[in-house]
Structures are given as structure tokens and as C-alpha cells.
Structure 1
Amino acid sequence: MINLCTLTGVDVRTDLGRVIEMAAAYPFLEFGILLSRTPEDKDPRYPQFRQIADMVERLSGRAKLALHVCGRAVGEFVKEPAKGAVYAGQDIHDLVAAGIGRVQLNFNFERFGLSVEEIDKAVRRTSAKVITQHFPANAPVSLGVTAPNHQVLYDASGGRGVAAAGYDRPFAGKYTGYAGGLGPGNVLSAVAAIQSVIGDDTVWIDMESRIRTDGYLDLDKCGNVAASIAPVLVASAASS
């Protein structure tokens, strides 16, 4: 069954009070916050570190939170630089400890210069669940990381809103998610398609680009998604 829906991209314009209300109304929701250190990542999806810290402080304990770590920040998370280096007072691990339940590392394994062993070690040393995206270039990570808190997200779209052509079975022994072009207009059909392939496994879904308007997270679209899938998820849970 699907037991979690991640709405990714809480930004500086997001009404956090509404986020808290939605989290209470729909306990299956998780809200993702994007973090990038890469200079070109300047669009509204990426709040500044201090803004993220404020969001986590306000939402911790009131909403399920995921931190989606992008670009060069992935290397920072994996290699865990010494305190005071590069980003003084902005340590990602401290941010995670403040109230993040899951961390998603967005990178391409073939281009990033990290070993599977380094990634596995980084996953093991954090108390959070750690997600890596699965697509062909990341297959060594999906299959090679053995940390018990490692999770895998099918996402060939990479946040570009490209719908998946189909859905594969979940990874054996790993909590598995599905993303790629999901939004208010197609989430119900996607949920049905996902449920048809997952058998007795429990999985989650994630969406980003199609729940934004003019670059910013649209909580009306998020609310439409939550309301439409709630009966399906509740019925699925009741029958399991």
C-alpha cells in the first residue's frame, strides 16, 4: 500500500500555518524542503540555509519533514566537513537533528565522484532515513548501499515533471518511493498503477514540479492532491 505522500518544495512564500493544518488533516503527508549550495540554484525552490532552519524550527513536531539535498551539498553531507569549514554555523547534520525525519540525496553517481562505500558510511552515521534516487547511473548505489536506514526513490525525471512510462516493483528489503510528473491531474491514475505492481509492499509517492505555480509551492494544488488520494490511501490501509 501507499502510506506516504511527499509534497516537495516548501519555499519562502509557503504559509507554514497552512502546512501545519494540512499535516494534521492528512497524517500521510510529508513536506520536502530543498537545500542546495550550488550558485546556479537560485530559483524559488531553494530557500537560504537560515530560512530552512527557521522552517524546520516552526514545523518540527507538527509536520513530517524531509530535506532534499542537491548539488555540491550532497558531497558536504557525505564527507561531513570539519566544524567551521566553508559554511560556518550552517552544518547540514545539525539541521537534520533539529527535526528532519528523512534526507534525500539528489546526485548522479557516475558524475559525482563519490564511492558507494562513502555513501553507505554517511547513511549509517545519521539518525535520519536517507533516500537516494534510482535511475540507471545510480544503480550501484541502489544495490550497493546496505545501511538499514537506506531508502530508494524511483525518479528518472529528477524533478523535471516528466511522467513515468511505467512502474517497477519495489526494491527488495528497502522502503521504495515513486516520483516523476505526479500532480493533481494524474495522481489518482498513478496511484492505481503503482498499487497494481507493489503487491504487499508499503511504498510512498513524491511530487514537486506539478504542485507549483509561477515557481512557488501552491498549497491549493497540494490540498487537492491530499483530498483526492486520502480515501484511496485510507481504504488501502484498512484492507491491509
Structure 2
Amino acid sequence: MSHNKPLRMLGFCGIDDSIDPDLLLSVSRSYSFVEWGVLFRPDQEGEPRYATTAYVNDKLYPAFKSSNGAMRLAAHLCGERVNEVLRGDDGFLKTLSALGFARVQINATAVNGVDTSDLRSASNTLRFVILANPQLEFILQRSEETSPLWSPFDAKPEKNISMLFDESKGTGVLPATYTPPPATYPVGYAGGIGPKNVTSVLESVLKISTNSDFWIDMESSLRSKVDGVDSFDINKCQSVIRSVCQEVKLFKFCSE
């Protein structure tokens, strides 16, 4: 089935030290709509799904630099990295652009180790941070839990903001239905998406989407055990790409 509505990108999150960046680079050169997500959470750095600083600086960044713009990177902030931003500390954010990150996702949920006790007040602080960093696109994880943080942006969105619909709150649970996107900012969808269901998910989202670009993001479904170690599986990413390009045929990039 062919569609005219644009899929902005495919987000593959959780790249870590288990994956050779040259493999990511190879995929990016063939499919520039792929975005690689790095989870940043200091207390879990080096564990599966959480890349080390050395990996990002010394391996991932050189691969990005050699891609000549083909590789897309997104920083998914968790734990203390989110708490910093919600306190108005954008020191870490200012290091991301230099490392090739164009988008920053704010995972402001309790399951991600974030202090969610006063997200309403934090929303005002976050707006100042967003305005102070126009070089970055900020993604707010939109769910019932995070409503005090994102709802003020519904009435007054900023130019460099977008929203990720994920009612699973980052736990990888497929939603029963999908929320139609507002026309005021770009949106993405996440939660339980993977190689086995990406085609049906896209069909569902397309039915309720406007003509605006949207993206989808996945994480848990991209893991495999390699020699007993929880690892990022590039083969599962390629399976998703094949499903999108060969079966759904959503957009022009698949012919690259």
C-alpha cells in the first residue's frame, strides 16, 4: 500500500557500547530518515541501553562526522539529566550539538528516575531552557503523567518543540488507540513498536494523522541476547526498515 502522507523519520533508541558505530553509519548512508537515539542517565551509564561517555565522544561522534550529515542523532534524557533541565541547568544540553545531536527528548517520568513532584512549575523553567537553546529540537514525552509539563505548550508552543505520544511512559507497551496529532507542532508515536508490528502501527497512525510529518520511535523491541549479553540488534532495525520500505512504501527515502 502506498501513502502520500510523510513519515518524518524512524527512531531507533538505545544504541550503546554493544554496537559498532560503523554499522549505524552504513544504515544512515542508505536510509537517511533513520534517527539513532542515545539514552543519557548518569547512574546507569555503561549498562545495556545506556552508552558510555567514551563511546559517544570517541566512537559515535567520529562516525557522525564522517557521515556528512546523513547520520541523525537524538539525545533521550533520563534521570538526573532531566532533573538538571527542569531546574534550568542547560550545561549538558550545550555539549550535545557539538557531538551531532539535533534533537533532545525529555523523558520526565518516574520510571525514568525523574522527580515528577512539581512538573507544573518545572514547565515554566523548561520553556526558558527551550528558548535559550534554539539549535536543538526539544521532544516532550506526552502522557497523562507528564501532562503538567507539556500542557502549557499546547496553548503556547515554541518553534523548536515537538511531542512524543507515549502513554506507556517509556515501558514499551503498545497502546490500544492512537491520538490524532494537533496542528500546532510536530509529533511522534512510541510504545511497543517493533519489527513484528511496525506495518500495522503505521497504518493505524496514518488513519488518524493530518498532513503533518510524524515519526515513530522504538527501543525495547531492538534488543537481543548476544553471548548472554543484552545488546542492540542492528538486524532488527533493518527488519523494521524493510517492513516500511517494501510493504508500506510510505515515502521517497526508501528509494535511496
Above 0.5 in TM-score? Answer: yes
Superposition misfits of 4+ residues, deviation over 6 angstroms? none
Check the 8 A contact 1:110/1:138 in 2, yes or no. no
User: Cα RMSD between the aligned structures?
Assistant: 2.3
Please give the secondary structure, in 2, of the residue aligned with 1:171: coil
Counterpart Cα distance in 2 of 1:181 and 1:117: 31
Counterpart Cα distance in 1 of 2:141 and 2:51: 21
27-36 or 154-163, which deviates more: 154-163
How much has 1:111 moved relative to structure 2? Answer: 1.5
TM-score normalised according to structure 1 size: 0.87
What residue ranges of structure 1 are gaps of 5+ in the alignment?
A: 84-90
Instruction: Say how many residue pairs are matched.
Output: 230
Please give the secondary structure, in 2, of the residue aligned with 1:122: helix
How much has 1:155 moved relative to structure 2? Answer: 0.8
Counterpart Cα distance in 2 of 1:82 and 1:138: 20
Counterpart Cα distance in 1 of 2:171 and 2:151: 24
Counterpart Cα distance in 2 of 1:220 and 1:112: 40
Q: Sequence identity of aligned pairs in percent?
A: 28
Check the 8 A contact 1:152/1:171 in 2, yes or no. no
Aligned pair partner of 1:122 in 124, 129, 135: 129
TM-score normalised according to structure 2 size: 0.82
Counterpart Cα distance in 2 of 1:49 and 1:68: 14
Q: Deviations over 1:187-209 (max 9, x none)?
A: 00001001010032210000000
Structure 2 partner of 1:48: 52
How much has 1:73 moved relative to structure 2? Answer: 0.8
Structure 2 partner of 1:86: none
Cα gap change, 1:25 to 1:233, in 2 (>3 Å): farther
| Map 1:1-240 → 2, pairs under 5 A | 1=5, 2-37=7-42, 39=43, 43-54=47-58, 55-60=60-65, 61-79=69-87, 81=89, 91-108=92-109, 111-114=116-119, 115-126=122-133, 127-145=135-153, 146-214=157-225, 215-231=230-246, 234-236=249-251
What residue ranges of structure 2 are gaps of 5+ in the alignment?
A: none
How much has 1:95 moved relative to structure 2? Answer: 2.6
